[in-house]
Amino acid sequence: MAVNITYFVHGTTTDNEKEISSGWCDVELSALGVRQSITLRDQIKDKRFDIVFCSDLKRAVDSANLTFKDFVKIIPDKRLRECNYGKYNARLLEIVEPMQKKCITERFPEGESYEDVKNRIADFLEFLKQNFDEKNVAIVAHKAPQLALDVLIKGKTWKRIVCGRLAKEKGVATRMGVHPQLEIQLGIDPVWFYPYLTYV
């Protein structure tokens, strides 16, 4: 008995292109983000999903609609939101990103910590296990919930993930908005499987 999950990150936004960390601020998909979401529809046409959950932030809702509308029911869920950077929502990436290590357990001013994100994702996963056994579920959300899955499922630490990402991303001009896709299986025990993490 298991819930089969495929996770997608929303398409590129206008903030992504300006290297702005949106957080809980709503922002539009860019022209590139719209194309990515439409292209993804063709790339996953052979997959069958019983239901799609997405963050209730506009960029995730729009991505989900462009990819899945008319094919499967889409349900927005606030638990799938990006990390709330509080006073630093919609601030430049170069300001927000250096704060990430500190904000693993300490909340962003008037916002939340990455541990807070992990806790709401854990609650969402438990909800899936209780209500969607043997179902194929797609999730369309953001970077922080995806990283929370690494902590919850792969046993990684936030410090390892955050430090690894910061080192990896130095010198990378464009990295956001591509659809990172991962498939996981939630077992009842729980037994967690993480077959692959690819960029499509």
Q: Cα separations (Å) of 86 from 46, 56, 116, 125? A: 40, 17, 13, 25
The full 3-state SS of 157-171, as one line of letters, equals CHHHHHHHHHHHHCC
Residues carrying an active site annotation: 10, 82
Residue 128's contacts (CB-CB under 8 Å, 6 or more residues apart) are 3, 5, 137, 186
- Ranges assigned E (strand) in the chain: 2-9, 20-21, 51-54, 74-76, 91-92, 136-141, 180-187, 192-199
